[in-house]
A and B are shown apart, each in its own frame.
Chain A
């Protein structure tokens, strides 16, 4: 695909409260990733490994699971403030992964802090595949 779908989605998301389905979001990340990795397909299995991996860049926030628990379907707890965090799975909270701008914002914030860098499109596609598994 030649059309830069994700930037267009983001632009639309910024201008209006653009809504997408988790599948559409995963597809646009997959399309972006496949430009670097020919034939790339999102994998819930890789997403699960990524989710559980201890990056240990931050001692307070070593991994996704530090706040979001071992399962994205469960209610999380902020490792610093103790505030509850609604589950990431669309099966638990229907609005998850439906707003491209919001998804990009939180990937950017949380990846920068937990991984020490931004996440790649491939990692995002895998993450969504894992978080939406069974929905």
Chain B
């Protein structure tokens, strides 16, 4: 197998924006001094997650949900094989990663929406508590995701973190993306900027 382009620019840029946004939002979550930073960081996570939903429908080959979302039986089967150190190699996301991605996107939107409602004082104390619950769950899924990336990287002798930087991963030549997605990445940045400006008002 060769190194081919698997992750397009919106997927990679969106991934690292969510990483930075979530990390920043987490460390500023207890502080009033950094409340604005928290709101901007959380809004970024939410805006990117919303774009990713659309990109999962109309995006490039390996970005589409249809390419990597599988049933729970397949996801559990993959995890079992991963524990026995004989997981099959997927060019795109494996079935377990697919579930982590769906959960992370759902929790990003849920924590973002409840955080926004708290900031705009649209609801009672329960929305604030729901926000903390969603963010806490998201941290747990982030941990599971990181563990999966570590195990997958070892099992396939493939640096999956670096793949998310360069977009290049093991795969057959015919599975390679033909375009890097520069325009889509720019439109994602424009959307994120606009959405964050609106959400953080």
Contact = CB atoms under 8 A, between A and B. Distances in A.
The DSSP consensus for interface residues of chain A is loop
A114 B36 CA distance: 17
Interface string B23-62: 0000000111101100100000000000000000000000
B125 to A, nearest CB: 6
A112 B30 contact: yes
Contacts of B32: 61, 67, 78-80, 109-110, 113
Interface residues of A, number: 15
B111 to A, nearest CB: 18
Chain B residues touching A, range: 10 to 19
Interface in A25-68: 58, 60-61, 67
Contacts, number: 27
A81 B33 contact: no
Nearest to B121: A83
Interface in A77-119: 78-81, 83, 99, 102, 109-110, 112-113
A4 B47 CA distance: 46
Contacts of A79: 32
B35 to A, nearest CB: 5
A102 B125 contact: yes
Given A99-B125, A102-B125, A60 B30 contact: no
Query: Most A CB atoms within 10 A — which of B31, B32, B125?
Result: B32
Nearest to B125: A102
A111 B156 CA distance: 49
24 contacts: A60-B33, A61-B32, A61-B33, A67-B32, A78-B32, A78-B35, A80-B32, A80-B33, A80-B35, A80-B36, A81-B35, A81-B36, A81-B39, A83-B119, A83-B121, A99-B125, A102-B125, A109-B30, A109-B31, A109-B32, A110-B32, A112-B30, A113-B31, A113-B32
Q: Which 10 A-B pairs have the closest CB atoms?
A: A60-B33, A81-B35, A80-B35, A58-B33, A81-B36, A109-B30, A80-B36, A113-B32, A61-B33, A102-B125
Interface of A: 58, 60-61, 67, 78-81, 83, 99, 102, 109-110, 112-113
